[in-house]
Amino acid sequence: MESKRGKLLVAGPALQDPNFRRTVVLICEHTEDGALGLVINRSTTIEVTDAVPELAGLLGDAARLWSGGPVQPQSIVLLAELDEPPEDALMVVGDVGLVLQGADLEDLADEARRGRAFLGYAGWGPGQLDDELERGDWIVVAAEEDDAFRPDADGLWGEVLARQGGEYALLATMPPDPSLN
């Protein structure tokens, strides 16, 4: 098994599950025991200051929460780009990592260049992601550190595909509902 940690999963055109249709998922962990990722292109209208005021110092007063996936949507998952990651951070790509529960948020605000808070996450049991990859549900591409922090991520699905070139660039132009074309 080749770990996909630090990669993006771009939903293939045949993936119609409403939880993942046209999503871009940053894989944060992938082992034989399963995988964990964050949908990075679905924002919510919930402001951080209303839901988790203690994160405002790290994320900013105007920050919103993002929908990270269908697993435990009531929990907060914090992703940050860190100058000096704490020992308990799970690094994903470059200086970007998951901040684990119990981290000192005041220290983190000094160490983080930017961050984003997600409601829930995407999760796969042992072998489940590998099966989905074999079926062609996902297109695996390299992640860039900026992908997870784009202010307007609505167009990220098409942009990530377009930067792959070739047939993926053509796929990136596909409308959300091809029957309306």
For the cut 70, the answer to whether the pLDDT of residue 166 exceeds it is yes
Residue 76: predicted pLDDT: 92
pLDDT tens per residue, range 114-145? 999 999 999 999 999 999 999 999 999 999 98
- Under the phi-then-psi rule, with left for phi > 0, alpha for psi from -120 to 50, and beta for the rest, what region is 62? alpha
pLDDT band at 84 (very low <50, low <70, confident <90, very high): confident
Q: Domains, the chain, ranges and CATH?
A: 7-180 (3.40.1740.10)
Q: What percent of the chain clears pLDDT 90, i.e. is strictly above it?
A: 67
- Other C-beta atoms within 10 Å of 149: how many? 16
Residue 181: predicted pLDDT: 56
Quote the CA–CA distance of 86 and 82 in Å, as a whole number: 9
Contact status, residue 48 vs residue 100, Cβ threshold 8 Å: no
Tell me the residue type at 41: N
pLDDT band at 178 (very low <50, low <70, confident <90, very high): low
For the cut 80, the answer to whether the pLDDT of residue 98 exceeds it is yes
For the cut 60, the answer to whether the pLDDT of residue 65 exceeds it is yes
Phi, psi of 130, rounded to the nearest 5 degrees: -60, -40
Mean of the per-residue pLDDT values of the chain: 91
Burial class (CB in 10 A: 0-12, 13-18, 19+), 65: buried
- Under the phi-then-psi rule, with left for phi > 0, alpha for psi from -120 to 50, and beta for the rest, what region is 84? beta
